[in-house]
Amino acid sequence: MNIKDIVLAGFVTMVLAFLIAGNVNAYSDAGSYFNCGNCSDCIDALNDNGHNEVRLTVNITNQNETCINNPSNFSNKIFDCQGYVIDGNLTEETHGIYLMDKQNNTIKNCIITNFEDGIYLAFSSNISLMNSTIRSNWNGIYMFGSSNNNLILNNTVSNNGLTGISIANFYGSADVKSCINETQGANASNNSNTSNETNPSEIGAKVTACIKDGKVVACTKNATNETKMCEKVPAMGPGNTNNTFKDNIILDNGIGIYSNSSNSTINTNVLDNKVYDLYSDNWESSSGDTNICFKTEGWNDNNTQGCKILFISEEFDYDDNGAIDTFDAVAGLDYLSEGKEIYYNGSKIGGNDLLLRIFALINEIVIKG
């Protein structure tokens, strides 16, 4: 072999090595869909119109920026995480999945953790989010500004410090609005003027939320240790209409579902959260039925006050105040007269079963004197 052949062979070897190395993290064509293994490759795959489905094939962890960051061609497509994780590090202004002005997508089977917003839909419509777990973010699912006709179905949204699901439509700034303080419980006044300093690890353990710049945010203290109040900002038109939230499990968030300027259908969700399960100053024409919850602000299932099925954390604690006493028997009888059921330990109890339990509770109270 002469020198020219040796050089040519070496060059070919280097090119092949480069190509192989370059394809380690690139998305791949699986015939009818693309596979991807990191944020940038998933974005590239979603931008490729060769297929309308992209599947995540590995966990993505410890991201310090938005992962799926509004791919320009991400409309009319399916993004299937296949049970894999998209994980951040609670960096501010980061999102697990962020869509702006996108339509007709399905996002499913994702586990999204440790972002400011797990999933952020802005001015995006006809999006189906299903069979996913959104946990340990500041906000789980955040919908903003004329995001319409979306379906949020069969997801677990838990342990998000501020809100599990937030439906907002704001701009600018206006009058100061005070914080909702968890220490005041479900009857907290919107005019509370006290707060504790919070960070992501403390949110939900201390004060929870107020509204600022269109988002439910934590209250903080300024440099002089005075409470820095959050600003309420005005709505910008009718946005966020005809969205459906169904069969979701929404637990241990600061607020389960927060709504502003939205018309939603909220059905058969299970909610048990720190401050409120469903909260809004004005639910407008939102409606729903057969939700399981206890702590609401202004929300009523169809033809009842509050939720039709009441979530209790302890057996016989029908007023959910942590003590078993005569008031629980009274509350239980009230629920019976209203046709409500109790949800405890994964089971619904109503009708004669609930009446028998109330009698047993009364008997126990009488025996104890």
Q: Does the structure show a pLDDT above 90 at 299?
A: yes
Going by their DSSP bridges, the two strands 53-56 and 34-36 should be labelled as: parallel
Question: Which CATH number goes with the domain that contains 36?
Answer: 2.160.20.10
- Position 106 pLDDT exceeds 50: yes
pLDDT in the model for residue 5: 57
Residue 205 lies in a domain: no
pTM for the model = 0.76
Q: What percent of the chain has pLDDT over 70?
A: 73
Cα 148 from chain centroid?
Answer: 17
Same domain? For 331 and 363 the reply is yes
Tally of structural domains, the chain = 2
Per-residue pLDDT of 197-242, as tens digits, reads: 233 333 332 233 454 444 545 444 344 434 444 443 344 445 678 9
Mean pLDDT of the chain: 79
* 353 lies in the same domain as 242: no
Same domain for 337 and 299, yes or no, is no
Q: Within this chain, do residues 318 and 335 fall inside the same structural domain, yes or no?
A: yes
Question: Based on the domain organization, do 248 and 351 belong to the same domain?
Answer: no
| Dihedral in degrees, nearest 10, Cα atoms 252, 254, 260, 263 | 10
Q: Are residues 306 and 242 part of one domain?
A: yes
Whether the per-residue pLDDT at 270 is higher than 70: the answer is: yes
Instruction: Tell me what pLDDT residue 22 has.
Output: 41
Based on the fold, state whether residues 39 and 116 are members of the same structural domain. yes
> Which of 311, 345, 361 delimits the end of a domain?
311
Q: Please indicate, yes or no, whether residues 52 and 112 belong to a single structural domain of this protein.
A: yes
Structure confidence at residue 3 (pLDDT): 60
Are 275 and 362 in the same domain? no
Residue 332 belongs to what domain range?
314-369
pLDDT digits (tens, 9 = 90+) for 119-169: 999 889 999 999 999 999 999 999 987 789 999 999 999 999 999 999 986
pLDDT class for 19, splitting at 50, 70, 90?
Answer: very low
Q: Is the same domain home to 146 and 104?
A: yes
Residue-wise over 97-123: b if at least 16 C-beta within 10 A, else e?
bbbeebeebbbbbbbbbbbbbbbbbbb
Least confident of 177-181, 293-297, 315-319: 177-181
Looking at 287, 311, 335, which one is the last position of a domain? 311
Domain C-terminal end among 311, 330, 354 = 311
Q: Are residues 264 and 327 in the same domain?
A: no
Query: How do residues 54-77 score in pLDDT, each as one tens digit?
Result: 999 999 999 999 999 999 999 999
Alpha carbons within 13 angstroms on the beta-carbon side of residue 174 total: 9
Residues 127, 145: one domain? yes
Q: C-alpha angle with apex 45: 71 to 80, nearest 5 degrees?
A: 90
Q: Give the mean pLDDT of 251-273.
A: 92
Q: Which amino acid appears at position 115 of this protein?
A: F
